């Protein structure tokens, strides 16, 4: 059934492997052309199939994975410059520009907002929870700290 519906299953497997490679190695300098070569695709064919499966070219997907991980590290309080290099960007200027283009806010402003949210939740965890859930659980300011 599966192979009748998806006669090119082996192609899917190669594309999935390429995606997983990006997920694992996004922080390193990744040569997307090399991934296409290793998967035995022409670069154009690889890019087209990848986009068909994931809605983004391999390059755009790699950028997105790096930016998503940058968000995660910024929310943990890691310094902006350190975040930039540890997710695989090699220029803090282009990192800041891409981040703002993607999320509509600069890395430092995003970090400030996340850290403020975190300290607000630490001061009063009930701020994180819709009241109906807090009441159902019996969570009150007096018994959750």
Partner 1 sequence: MITKVTHMCVYVLNQDSAYDFYVNKLGFKVHTDVPMGPDSRWLTVTPPEQPELEITLFPVKEGNMFDAETVGTMTDLVKKGTFGAAVFTCEDLMATYEELKGKGVEFKKAPTKEFYGYEALFKDDSGNWFSLSQLDTEK
Interface with partner 1 by CB under 8 A: which residues? 1-2, 5-6, 9, 12-13, 15-16, 19-20, 52-55, 68, 72, 121, 125, 128-130, 133, 136-139, 143-145
Nearer to partner 1, 19 or 107 (CB): 19
- In whole angstroms, what is the distance from residue 20 CA to residue 18 CA? 5
- CA 78 – CA 57 distance, rounded (Å): 29
> 92 vs 103, which CB is nearer to partner 1?
103
User: By C-beta, is 93 or 123 nearer to partner 1?
Assistant: 123
What is the number of other CB atoms lying within 10 angstroms of the CB of residue 9?
Answer: 10
CB of 134 to partner 1, least distance (A): 8
State the minimum distance, in angstroms, from the CB of residue 111 to partner 1.
16
Output the smallest distance, CB 93 to partner 1, in A: 26
Q: Which of 115, 95, 116, 117 is nearest to 106 (CA)?
A: 95
- Complex with partner 1: residue 72 or 113, whichever CB lies closer: 72
List helix spans (H) across 30-144: 32-38, 43-54, 58-75, 80-86, 92-103, 107-123, 131-137
């Amino acid at each position: 059934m599966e192979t009748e519906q998806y006669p090119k299953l082996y192609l899917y497997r190669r594309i999935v492997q390429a995606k997983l490679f990006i997920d694992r190695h996004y922080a390193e300098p990744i040569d997307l052309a090399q991934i296409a070569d290793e998967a035995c695709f022409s670069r154009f064919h690889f890019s087209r199939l990848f986009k068909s499966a994931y809605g983004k070219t391999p390059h755009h997907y790699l950028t997105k994975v790096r930016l998503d991980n940058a968000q995660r590290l910024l929310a943990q309080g890691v310094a902006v410059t350190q975040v930039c290099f540890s997710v695989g960007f090699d220029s803090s200027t282009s990192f800041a520009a891409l981040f703002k283009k993607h999320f509509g806010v600069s890395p430092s402003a995003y970090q400030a907002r996340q850290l403020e949210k975190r300290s607000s939740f630490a001061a009063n965890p009930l701020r994180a929870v819709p009241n109906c859930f807090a009441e159902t659980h019996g969570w009150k300011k007096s018994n959750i700290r």
